């Protein structure tokens, strides 16, 4: 007795039930795979956009103007540098990096440029205001993990994109592209500011922002030269992914009530909203797959058991064991689950690749691991749905089956 041949023949003799079950499973898997593919690549796009933006939250003096986000640090007032330690000590989830800055006007080559003091990231752990929080473990979560690239660019040119710098000597400067072009400054050249000689460490690549017309020096050196004291013009915050467009700004406002906290979350807010909608939709589709697909398979299997009671009784009379009958029905369910899952996964990947650019504005590539998970889920739902009808078939009494007309 070949159980595989019996199962295959049984499926082929009931094509309507087989097709209905396959469609119920495949459609659920198709929607689930397509939505999850688009969600994954949309989240990656948000991460990329925030990486391009660098600082996505600004902590400013109350009087600062917001006409231009990235020049807001030169539009009035200062903050105490101790605000940095306040944020660090709060250990807020989503705060990836901080960059306090102090801006002042200076003459370079006869032209007015903005001298911006920045604090190197390497010194963040050695400052007195950091000592109170240096033993605290950084509060991270899944959103931050997704946003992390795992690569740290330590070159001074990274200041152009990341808006932070890892190392900067007390008497070294980094020059913006426009300033370098107008003054013919190159890396290694000397520059005099406030009567103090500095060495140009690097020239930034063009960014198309106000940074092209700036000169960057060590924050504490700028504080000393301007005799401004321990103050900053702004604190730039690199917040991860959804935090920058969500709850991080209200938390910072509550933490620093005497400061103005603004964000560029509107740049990515629409896409973050799409991500949230897609994530909720994928949960809904998974529920539909479990309920509709499972109910369809369970109903089809139950109907098959009722229709084949005499055949089941005959098999058992010929020596088939209850375990064999159970395996017969579960084998059919396995084939349906695999066929529907694989077919739905392939259709979902094709839909995601085709609709991703139009639906969410992202380019989608196949994710085999995600497809494998969806197929496994479809197979699991199918087997669970078919188990109870198959178990009832295995418990039938052959004598009772033969007495039925």
Tell me how many helices (H) and strands (E) the chain has: 15, 11
Structure confidence at residue 314 (pLDDT) = 73
Task: Give dist(CA 23, CA 289) in Å, integer.
Answer: 11
Q: Per residue, what are the HEC states of 220-283?
A: HHHHHHHCCCCEECEEEEEECHHHHCCCHHHHHHHHCCCCEEEECCHHHHHHHHHHHHHHHHHH
Residue 229 and residue 81: Cα distance in Å, rounded? 9
pLDDT bucket at 245, cuts 50 / 70 / 90: low
Q: What is the pLDDT of residue 75?
A: 64
Q: What is the pTM of this model?
A: 0.53
- Region 142-167: mean pLDDT is 65
The pLDDT of residue 130 is: 45
Provide the pLDDT for residue 136. Answer: 44
DSSP at 381: H
Closest CA to 372 of 352, 388, 349: 349
pLDDT at 125: 58
Task: Give me the pLDDT at residue 126, please.
Answer: 59
Position 70 pLDDT exceeds 70? no
Give the model's pLDDT for residue 131: 45
Look at residue 329 and tell me whether its pLDDT is greater than 60.
Answer: yes
**pLDDT number for residue 218:** 94
Q: Which helix (H) or strand (E) holds 96?
A: strand 95-108
Under 8 Å between Cβ of 353 and 38:
no
Distances in Å between the alpha carbon of 177 and those of 183, 204, 289, 336? 10, 5, 56, 63
For the segment 181-207, what is each residue's pLDDT rounded down to a tens digit?
A: 988 888 989 999 998 999 999 999 988
For 40-66, write each residue's pLDDT tens digit. Answer: 887 777 666 555 555 578 888 887 765
Range scoring the smallest mean pLDDT among 83-97, 103-117, 275-289:
275-289
Residue 199 confidence (pLDDT): 93
DSSP strand pairing (111-118 vs 95-108): antiparallel
> Is the confidence at residue 216, as pLDDT, over 90?
yes
| pLDDT given for residue 122 in this prediction | 77
Statement: residue 360 has pLDDT above 70: no
Q: How far apart are CA 83 and CA 96, in angstroms?
A: 16
Instruction: Give 335-345 pLDDT, tens digit per residue.
Output: 888 998 899 89
Residue 222 has pLDDT above 90, yes or no: yes
In this structure, what token pair is assigned to residue 197? Answer: 């000689």
> At a CB cut-off of 8 Å and minimum separation 6, what does 143 contact?
94, 240, 241, 242, 243
Domain map of the chain by residue range?
Answer: 3-46+272-403, 57-263
Proportion of the chain above pLDDT 70, given as a percent? 77
- Report the alpha-carbon distance of residue 94 to residue 227 in Å, rounded: 34
Q: How far apart are CA 369 and CA 377, in angstroms?
A: 12
What is the pLDDT at residue 147? 41
Query: Does the structure show a pLDDT above 70 at 99?
Result: yes
Element (DSSP H or E) covering residue 118:
strand 111-118
User: Would strands 57-60 and 260-263 be described as parallel, antiparallel, or unpaired?
Assistant: antiparallel
Mean predicted confidence (pLDDT) in 312-330:
78
End-to-end Cα, the chain, rounded Å: 26
In this predicted model, which residue has the larger pLDDT, 135 or 24? Answer: 24
Average pLDDT over residues 152-164: 75
Q: How far apart are CA 28 and CA 347, in angstroms?
A: 11
Mean predicted lDDT score pLDDT of the chain: 78
Per-residue model confidence (pLDDT) at position 236: 85
Strands lying side by side in the sheet with 214-218: 190-193, 196-203, 172-175, 214-218, 111-118, 95-108, 234-239, 57-60, 260-263
- Better-scored residue on pLDDT, 377 or 248: 377
Band (pLDDT 50/70/90 cuts) for residue 225 is very high
What letter does residue 206 receive in the DSSP assignment?
Answer: P
For 115-136, what is each residue's pLDDT tens digit? 999 998 877 755 544 444 444 4
User: Between residues 322 and 192, which one has the greater pLDDT?
Assistant: 192
Alpha-carbon distance of 97 to 271, in angstroms, equals 23
Tell me what pLDDT residue 215 has.
93
257-311 tens-digit pLDDT: 988 887 765 445 555 666 666 677 777 777 776 777 778 888 887 887 777 777 7
The answer to whether the Cα torsion of 29, 34, 35, 36 is positive or negative is positive
Q: Is the pLDDT at 107 greater than 60, yes or no?
A: yes
Cα dist. 37→28, 209, 278 in Å? 14, 34, 10
Which residues, at least 6 apart from 24, have a Cβ–Cβ distance to it below 8 Å? Answer: 292, 293, 296, 297, 340
> pLDDT at residue 219 above 60?
yes
């Amino acid at each position: 007795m070949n159980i595989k041949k019996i199962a295959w023949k049984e499926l082929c003799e009931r094509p309507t039930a087989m097709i209905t079950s396959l469609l119920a499973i495949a459609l659920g898997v198709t929607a689930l795979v397509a939505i999850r593919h688009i969600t994954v690549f949309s989240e990656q796009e948000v991460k990329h956009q925030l990486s391009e933006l660098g600082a996505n939250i600004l902590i400013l003096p109350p009087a600062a103007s917001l006409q231009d986000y990235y020049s807001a640090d030169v539009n009035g007032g200062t903050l105490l540098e101790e605000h940095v330690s306040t944020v660090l000590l709060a250990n807020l989830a989503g705060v990836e990096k901080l960059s306090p800055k102090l801006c002042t006007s200076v003459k370079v080559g006869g032209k007015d440029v903005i001298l911006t003091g920045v604090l190197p990231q390497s010194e963040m752990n050695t400052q007195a205001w950091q000592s109170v929080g240096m033993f605290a473990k950084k509060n991270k979560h899944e959103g931050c993990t997704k946003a992390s690239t795992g690569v740290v660019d330590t070159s001074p040119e990274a200041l152009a994109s990341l808006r932070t710098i890892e190392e900067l000597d007390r008497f070294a400067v980094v020059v913006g592209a426009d300033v370098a072009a107008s003054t013919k400054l190159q890396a290694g050249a000397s520059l005099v500011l406030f009567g103090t000689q500095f060495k140009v460490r690097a020239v930034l690549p063009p960014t198309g922002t106000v940074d092209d017309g700036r000169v960057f020096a060590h924050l504490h050196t700028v504080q000393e030269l301007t005799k401004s004291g321990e103050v900053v013009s702004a604190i730039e915050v690199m917040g991860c992914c959804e935090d920058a467009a969500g709850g991080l700004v209200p938390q910072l406002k509550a933490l620093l009530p005497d400061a103005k906290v603004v964000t560029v979350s509107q740049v990515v807010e629409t896409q973050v909203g799409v991500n949230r909608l897609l994530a909720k939709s994928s949960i809904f589709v998974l529920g539909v797959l479990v309920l509709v697909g499972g109910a369809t398979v369970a109903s089809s299997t139950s109907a098959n058991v009722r229709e084949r009671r005499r055949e089941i009784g005959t098999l058992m009379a010929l020596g088939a064991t209850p375990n064999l009958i159970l395996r017969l029905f579960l084998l059919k369910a396995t084939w349906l689950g695999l066929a529907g899952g694989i077919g739905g996964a392939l259709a979902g990947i094709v839909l995601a690749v085709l609709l991703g650019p139009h639906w969410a504005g992202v380019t989608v590539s196949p994710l085999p691991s995600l497809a494998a998970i969806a197929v496994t889920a479809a197979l699991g739902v199918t087997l669970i749905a078919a188990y109870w009808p198959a178990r009832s078939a295995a418990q039938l009494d052959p004598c009772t089956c033969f007495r039925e007309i």
